[in-house]
């Protein structure tokens, strides 16, 4: 990480019991990934709406008692509609980003 990205960073605290912490540390060490990198990668996958991360979050929401089935199903339905719309329009994520880059280039004040 560069000095600038460290300066503009926020800490994330996660509470795990001792066994979970040790098991996670061992598993991540086996994979060659630090805990910080793990959290950053998972966060990026969620923010980028990576299909595997979306599927994992759906599974979590469906199996957790914390979330209502109605809200979980609605979120899944909304995402499926968004995917269908993107498919119908023929635009993928990179093409949409390119459009925003062009707009930003032509109108930097926005």
3-state secondary structure 40-78: HHHHHHHHCCCHHHHHHHHHHHHHCCCCCHHHHHHHHHH
Looking at the chain, the whole-number percentage of residues with pLDDT higher than 90 is 35
pLDDT tens figures, 70-105: 777 777 788 788 778 777 777 666 777 778 888 888
What token pair was written down for 90? 């023929």
- Answer whether 110's CB lies under 8 Å from 103's CB: yes
Task: Report yes or no on 42 lying in a domain.
Answer: yes
- Residue 86: predicted pLDDT: 73
Task: Report yes or no on 12 lying in a domain.
Answer: yes
Task: Report yes or no on 13 lying in a domain.
Answer: yes
The pTM (predicted TM-score) of the whole model is 0.59
Number of domains in the chain: 1
What token pair was written down for 94? 């990179």
């Amino acid at each position: 990480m560069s000095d600038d990205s460290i300066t503009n960073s926020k800490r994330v605290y996660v509470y795990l019991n001792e066994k979970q912490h040790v098991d996670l540390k061992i598993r991540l060490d086996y994979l060659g990934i630090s805990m910080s990198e793990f959290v950053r990668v998972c966060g990026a996958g969620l923010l980028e709406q990576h299909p595997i991360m979306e599927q994992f979050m759906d599974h979590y929401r469906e199996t957790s008692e914390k979330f209502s089935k109605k809200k979980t199903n609605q979120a899944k339905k909304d995402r499926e509609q968004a995917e269908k719309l993107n498919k119908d329009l023929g635009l993928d994520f990179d093409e949409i980003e390119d459009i925003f880059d062009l707009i930003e280039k032509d109108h930097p004040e926005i």
